[in-house]
Amino acid sequence: MRHVLILGGTTEGRTLAAELAPTAHRVTSSLAGRVAQPRLPAGEVRIGGFGGPEGLADWLRDERVDAVVDATHPFAAGISRNAALAAAATGVPLLVLRRPGFTRVDGDRWIPVPSLAAAAAELLPRRGERVFLTIGRQGLAAFAHLDGVHVLARSVDPPEPPLPPSCEILLDRGPFTVQGEEALLREHRIDVLVTKDSGGSATAAKLTAARGLRLPVIIVERPPVPQDVPVVPDVPGALHWLEQPR
Ligand code: NAP
């Protein structure tokens, strides 16, 4: 029986676990423990950090892991870096499962920026007074100095302080519909949307809604995937990689 570790916290991680759990593999999904009530994947689940790349390498050896699939969120760069280091140290094969980013289409008014700090700087030169921030519960500190704008921030769990001085919190979890997103943008009289290029269908509706309303979208670009690690865009690709003899 092969032991597969899925570094999860994403829809893709859960889908992969559901596909593998009924097979002859032993499947362990690892979650960071950031969300109070996570949707638990099928198979075994462990929660919490490993203690850096060394801790993860120890875990791979102790638990006799045969393969690791890094199915973490495209912006979870720390754990992806750790996984690459731990895989190199132990020789355990590693695959990155990373969904493609959002696709820009005609009518989109996107302003790509390299970081949350750059997104905040973009807001300063009068993009509008009412901002919809969908960057998750971490990272609002980058916007904490912004006065003169009203921020509507949406996340699954309450965001970490510090928060912008004028900030309204909306606790909600996708998937969201275009109709619902349009209604939200209108109701809160949003001038500009700030989001990360997370990709995936569960949260793409806000971009369609923003396009329909001709709103600018400040979109934070993804950090790069660690070098020399194979990458697939979807769960079938990961299943195919796991089937290969090595
Ligand atoms: P990060 O900055 O890349 O990781 C920080 C530390 O958290 C890691 O060094 C590791 O601690 C621990 N960690 C992260 N993911 C882990 C996992 N799956 N299992 C065990 N430990 C993990 O991560 P993040 O951006 O805070 O994201 C945390 C988790 O939330 C990820 O698993 C990700 O898939 C999910 N998520 C993130 C975002 C986002 O926008 N960043 C959005 C949705 C979901 P140790 O060094 O102690 O091992």
Domains of the chain by start residue, with CATH: 3-99+223-243 (3.40.50.720), 110-220 (3.40.50.720)
Taken as a whole, the chain contains a residue count of 246
H helices present in the chain, as ranges: 11-20, 52-62, 77-90, 116-123, 178-187, 205-212, 235-243
Please tell me if the CB atom of residue 212 comes closer than 6 angstroms to any atom of ligand 1: no
The pLDDT of 111-120, averaged and rounded, is 97
Q: What is the pLDDT of residues 71-95, one digit of tens each?
A: 999 999 999 999 999 999 999 999 9
Residue burial 96-121, b: 16+ Cβ < 10 Å; e: rest: bbbbeebeeeeebebeebeebeebbe
pTM beyond 0.85: the answer is: yes
Q: How far is the CA of 215 from the centre of ligand 1 (A)?
A: 31
**Alpha-carbon distance 194 to 246, whole Å?**
43
The pLDDT of 3-9, averaged and rounded, is 97
* The Cα angle at residue 169 between residues 164 and 175, in degrees rounded to 5: 130
Please tell me if the CB atom of residue 43 comes closer than 6 angstroms to any atom of ligand 1: no
Residues 6 or more apart in contact with residue 96 via CB below 8 angstroms: 69, 70, 80, 225, 226, 229, 230, 231, 232
Q: What is the pLDDT of residues 140-183, one digit of tens each?
A: 999 999 988 999 999 999 999 999 999 999 999 989 999 999 99
Please tell me if the CB atom of residue 174 comes closer than 6 angstroms to any atom of ligand 1: no
Q: Say whether pLDDT at 202 is over 90.
A: no
Q: Say whether pLDDT at 200 is over 80.
A: yes
Q: How far is the CA of 211 from the centre of ligand 1 (A)?
A: 31
The pLDDT of 88-109, averaged and rounded, is 97
Q: How far is the CA of 115 from the centre of ligand 1 (A)?
A: 17
